[in-house]
Amino acid sequence: MDLVEGVGESSSPPRAFSGYSNYDVRNDVYNRLLQTGHDQAVSNPDFREHLEAHFNRLPPSYGLDVNIDRAEDVLLHQSLLALAKDPHKRPVYHIRFLENISTRTDSEDQQILSTHYSPGSSSHATNGGAVSPGKSKMRDIANEFEPCSKLEDLNLDVRKNSKETEEKFLSDNFFQRLEHSSVPVHEIIFSTVDKPKLLSQLSALLSDIGLNIREAHVFSTTDGYSLDVFVVDGWPVEETDDLYDAMEKAVSRSEGSWSRSLKSHSAVEKALATEGKSGDWEIDRKLLKLGEKIASGSSGDLYRGVYLGEDVAVKVLRSEQLNDALEDEFAQEVAILRQVHHKNVVRFIGACTKCPHLCIITEYMPGGSLYDYVHKNHNVLELSQLLKFAIDVCKGMEYLHQSNIIHRDLKTANLLMDTHNVVKVADFGVARFLNQGGVMTAETGTYRWMAPEVINHQPYDQKADVFSFSIVLWELVTAKVPYDTMTPLQAALGVRQGLRPELPKNGHPKLLELMQRCWEAIPSHRPSFNEITAELENLLQEMEKDSEANAVEFFSRSLVAPREKGVHRNRDQYKVRKCKEAY
């Protein structure tokens, strides 16, 4: 369960409006629509009330992103959200051409020379039918939805360092774009039922078509719908008819995952039935007592409970959010937990697989997560303790990899401690068995800890977990949240360009060197967890030997010094006594 940051989730950071804390854009939108003579604004007496209701459904950051010169876009968003209420039309989407970006390729990198904006509106459509917001001039991107995650706004000085990465990993579409003199940029707006991991699903959908996300603006309504605006490149022409067709095909391939599941929820039981009899791990809910809620995630809640007299942790999926994807995750998690037994992996006790009351019961970890220990409790780790934590993680991950399991969401929030501060790997919601002949390309995990090959939807293996471990190690050394000045999506877009966390000045040289090898852009260059464990254990032994040697030296000095003083004092006393006797 993702308790800190949604898996792949992000939202647009609100722009600062210095001196305008009481500014409300909805008044300007209403007045502009009246001035331009928009039909609804002029003829509908309830228009102002409907406009207010639209803004009230969305977070304040939405109002900050609206450009008054394109006030009619607010009505487009309103129409998309209305269409999304029909389950047969979800997801609703709208596509339009925005601009051409002229480019030049030199020996260093691609450079943007000029931007050409379309003088008119392009075609736009939705899954459920056409949306007609009216004719409109094409907007200036810099003035309307200002970029929350535009790569050039991140000031990343990483392009020279990532040249090898680009040669190895960037998609063919990227190189095709370099060969052309201009790059068409389009805007795609989605609206559907809001749900966990929606942003990850949408980004995977766009990547499947060959599109590259330049900007993303993600909003959730108060009544459970989403409004997601993407600015993309990668489509070779301005016209959107073929892009719409490609989008329709991509959506149809993932049909069934856009709405809340309406079926009888028997998929979990069928999937787990193939794994064998459940008599040894199926939990009788009557014997399970739920206590206080420990945390809440994107799709469920975590409780402390008691089962047969033992303190347990109970992960309960919310029945109202169950769908095919969540049920599949649940079945996969149970299947994996049943097969893992290691001192550095959280112990599985059982599960309830009778829908809609799905839950997983594991041992209770009173020490909490490493995330809370480091960030919320503000604990600065001694090097020896840091190494012990890291070794625990590596041993747990080494065992999982030997069992052909890839975790895919390794981060401090999913690393739990027992009463003796032993760290155990937890949360296998997105973990998978590594198939012998299969290839994994799905964007899964949490952006701040995600490997570049996962972000780019390229084939990946267990070395993606090694990359995530490098960010965990950085957290333990610095006691900071990775990329804390960026949104999750900004961090992901930076990582794919070669961005890595800044190395701490006070870190142990061997740890920093290991960290950098673990976050290598080329997966094969990263060490295995077996190699990492050996290096960390050697470093811990060196530290302990140095500590022992220093302790012996200090103890020796503390004993020798008083003895020598005592000897001199006795000699002096003896001399005085002899002198007195002589007289």
Instruction: Report, as an integer, the average pLDDT of 477-491.
Output: 91
Nearest to 497 by CA among 440, 531, 452: 452
CA distance 431 to 451: 15
Q: Is 230 helix (H, G, I), strand (E, B) or coil?
A: strand
Most confident of 92-96, 271-275, 549-553: 92-96
CB 412 within 8 A of CB 369: yes
Sheet containing strand 359-363, edge to edge, reads 288-296, 300-307, 310-317, 359-363, 348-352
The residues, ordered by sequence, that sit 6+ positions from 125 with a Cβ below 8 Å of its Cβ are 93, 94, 95, 131, 240, 244
pLDDT above 70 covers what percent of the chain?
Answer: 70
Tens of pLDDT, residue by residue over 495-513, are 989 999 999 988 999 999 9
Q: Is 360 helix (H, G, I), strand (E, B) or coil?
A: strand
In CATH, the architecture of 267-363 is 2-Layer Sandwich (3.30)
CA distance 512 to 505: 9
| From-to residues of CATH 1.10.510.10 in the chain | 368-534
CATH topology for 368-534?
Answer: Transferase(Phosphotransferase); domain 1 (1.10.510)
CA distance 193 to 259: 6
Please give the backbone phi and psi of residue 351, each rounded to the nearest 5 degrees, phi first. -155, 155
Say which residue, 385 or 116, is predicted with more confidence. 385
Tens of pLDDT, residue by residue over 391-430, are 999 999 999 999 999 999 999 999 999 999 999 999 998 8
Instruction: Report, as an integer, the average pLDDT of 471-488.
Output: 94
Predicted local distance difference test score (pLDDT) of residue 559? 61
pLDDT above 90 covers what percent of the chain?
Answer: 39
Predicted local distance difference test score (pLDDT) of residue 323? 76
| Residues in a beta bridge with 424 | 416
Q: Is 376 helix (H, G, I), strand (E, B) or coil?
A: helix
The residues, ordered by sequence, that sit 6+ positions from 495 with a Cβ below 8 Å of its Cβ are 450, 452, 455
CB 369 within 8 A of CB 414: yes
Tens of pLDDT, residue by residue over 376-391, are 888 889 999 999 999 9
**Lowest mean pLDDT: which of 131-135, 264-268, 412-416, 536-540?**
131-135
DSSP states of 435-491: -SS--B----S-GGG--HHHHTT--B-THHHHHHHHHHHHHHHH-S-TTTTS-HHHH
**Lowest mean pLDDT: which of 51-55, 155-159, 238-242, 497-501?**
155-159
Amino acid in the structure at residue 17: F
Predicted local distance difference test score (pLDDT) of residue 400? 97
Residue 169 has pLDDT above 90, yes or no: no
Task: Note if 2 is an active site residue.
Answer: no
Tens of pLDDT, residue by residue over 222-238, are 888 899 999 999 999 99
Nearest to 475 by CA among 370, 581, 575, 360: 370
Q: Is 345 helix (H, G, I), strand (E, B) or coil?
A: strand
**Which of 73, 392, 409, 427 does the annotation list as catalytic?**
409
Average pLDDT over the chain reads 77
Predicted local distance difference test score (pLDDT) of residue 139? 33
Nearest to 29 by CA among 81, 57, 64: 64
DSSP state of 156: -
Cis peptide before 91 (omega within 30 of 0): yes
Predicted local distance difference test score (pLDDT) of residue 552? 62
| From-to residues of CATH 3.30.200.20 in the chain | 267-363
The residues, ordered by sequence, that sit 6+ positions from 46 with a Cβ below 8 Å of its Cβ are none
Residue 8 has pLDDT above 60, yes or no: no
pTM of the model: 0.63
Say which residue, 561 or 507, is predicted with more confidence. 507
Say which residue, 545 or 188, is predicted with more confidence. 188
- What confidence tier does 82 reach under pLDDT thresholds 50, 70, 90? very high
